[in-house]
Amino acid sequence: MKRFLRLENASYGHFRIRVQVFAMARLAALLAALGLGAVPAEARLLHVVALGDSLTAGYGLAPGEAFPDALARALKARGWDVEVANAGVSGDTAADGLARYEWSVPEGTDALIVELGANDMLRGLDPAAAEAALAQVLEKARSAHVATLLMGMRAAPNLGADYQRRFDAIYPDLARRFGVALYPFFLDGVAGDPKLNQKDGLHPTREGVARIVAAILPAVEGVLAEVKP
């Protein structure tokens, strides 16, 4: 008798599973008919490269505290399956970043964050040269179909009004020209604040990086949303 009950229960359980599978299939067909589609497949890992200078590299910070590391943690906390490669080199100008583009931004990169130009400004280099180099970086990214976020920089006022006007115009002009997303000023809310900068007054502390990441995060997420699955 007990053996019969076990067999009966097993048969009933199998029947329930078949009914559930049939119901799920009917539901999927109904959703497809309504144009709602099926449940999307698990999202793939997104490869992001942060191409920049010492502000990206993490000058003066401990390992794991640089902008790309902090950004990756913030994105993962918001559910993104992402890795952010630190392609920052201290002292790089826009031309330096362009010169190493091929090995800094490998094939398979999904999104690019460009943070260059601060050293051009600090050295008083011609804004036209910085703009030309950045334009080539953006053209390479566009040709490779890499979603791009351009980080703006602003000139120090002691360089004069004309230089400041020409330099500050580089980033919005390039963003319009190449149709890329622009974050107007990478150091917004951090520049000039001694509590958020190291003793040199130029490079953010760990707290400064956290402020930068919190402000930039929506712009980065907007660029990641452009990446095709």
Q: What SS3 class is residue 50?
A: strand
Instruction: List strands edge to edge, sheet with 181-183.
Output: 82-88, 46-52, 111-115, 147-151, 181-183
Cα–Cα distance list, 13 to 4, 5, 21, 56, 228 (Å): 14, 12, 12, 58, 42
Q: What 8-state DSSP symbol labels residue 204?
A: B
Q: What 8-state DSSP symbol labels residue 156?
A: -
- What angle, rounded to 10 degrees, do the helices at 206-224 and 67-77 form? 60
Q: Which residues contact 191 (CB under 8 A, 6 or more apart)?
A: 154, 185, 197
Q: Which residues are tagged catalytic?
A: 54, 200, 203
